[in-house]
Structure 1
């Protein structure tokens, strides 16, 4: 019984064919495609307003050299929100609960920010490894600690997104199972459990959006340090 709770996190396979690529591609079909018209419909207007406001707020503290990342970070934000939100629907699979996928997104983007810093301003990038005014005896220790913290960043990005979504899905399934079990035995308690499940679902909708935003925000902060 306990193992069945984790079946929802298994990568979907049909007739021996992995469906992970299909799960990653289908959300893009749900987005409305902008047209060349002067006046669009309400959905396209809302989508454009959201993307513009998000991009403006995200890149406000970043130098002009980092504004080239606007397209990829805005696209990543919308993509992660779509995957997280669609994963809350019944009988669906959430690709962002897979650590391998999240690390596959986090590591290349983090590495790109580090390479940009090393190429454009190597002295400033290496200066992050040693805070100013450090005593001479602590210099080797601090360099090792800062280097480890630098390489832990992509791991923290991937694990944070995976852990938050996995924990939320498990809580929803556990509380839903408890509500079904208690329904014939104690209907009142089952009703209270169902109300708790509804509130938890609302919380998970917020978590799905916030975690996507935090993922992209931290990437933008890493970019800001290296631009």
Structure 2
């Protein structure tokens, strides 16, 4: 029973070939490519409006140098959100439940923000390791603590996304299993449990979108500290 609960988080294979690559490529096929036509269809117009609104909201606290990251951050948010939402469909696989993938996204982008800070303003970047007004005896301890917290940031990004999606999928599978087991024995209780399952599914749709936004928002905050 325990193994069957976690089988959904195993990378699917076919003839020994991992199919996670298809899961990573498929989200980009869900969005239409914008053309140079003056008149766009409704889907393209909604897509363009969403990207403009999100980019404006995300880049608002950043200065001009940070606006160079608008394309990659917006693309990353839409990509992660699409993967999360597609993973809620039956018989699908969610790549963002894999910690290795999330760390593969978080570590390079976090490291890029740190390197930008070291190149453009090294004094301010190192200054973040020691809060202003720190008593002299506490300086060595605080530097060590701030350094550890700096290197924990990418791990926190990856673990947060993985844990939220994994917990949600496990709850959905547990409650759906309870619905199927209770249906022949206690139909009324099974119907009530199905209502809970429906509400949980709505919550997980919201979590899938919010976690993608939080992932990118934290990256933009790290960028804001280093530009």
> Structure 1: 5+ residue runs without aligned partners?
none
* Matching residue of 1:56: 56
Shift of 1:39: 1.3
Q: Which residue of 1 aligns with 2:77?
A: 77
Return 5+ residue gaps in structure 2 as ranges: none
Residues in 2 aligned to 1:160 and 1:194: alpha-carbon distance in whole angstroms: 28
Deviations 1:9-61 (A, max 9, x none): 00111100011111100111111110111110111000000000100010111
Following the alignment from structure 1 to structure 2, what is the Cα–Cα distance between the partners of residues 22 and 201?
24
2:148 corresponds to 1:145 = no
Matched with 1:158 is 158
**Structure 1 residue 89 displacement after superposition:** 0.1
Whole-angstrom CA distance in 2 between matches of 1:208 and 1:62: 25
Question: Which residue number in structure 1 is paired with residue 18 of structure 2?
Answer: 18
1:150-186 alpha-carbon deviations (Å, 9 max, x no partner): 0000000000000000000000000000000000000
Q: Provide Cα deviations, 1:166-212, integer angstroms capped at 9, x if missing partner.
A: 00000000000000000000000000000000000000000000000
Structure-1 residue corresponding to 2:181: 181
2:98 alignment partner in structure 1: 98
SS at match of 1:38: coil
SS for the counterpart of 2:206 is helix
CA distance in 2, matches of 1:159, 1:2: 21
For 2:146 and 2:97, locate their aligned partners in 1 and report how far apart those are by CA, in whole Å.
29
Question: Any runs of at least 4 consecutive aligned residues in structure 1 with deviations exceeding 6 A, and if so which?
Answer: none
Q: CA RMSD in A?
A: 0.4
Worse-matched range after superposition: 88-97 or 16-25: 16-25
What does residue 124 of structure 2 align with? 124
TM (norm. structure 2) is 0.99
* Alpha-carbon distance between aligned partners in 1 of 2:136 and 2:44, rounded to the nearest angstrom: 58
Q: TM-score of the superposition, structure 1-length normalised?
A: 0.99
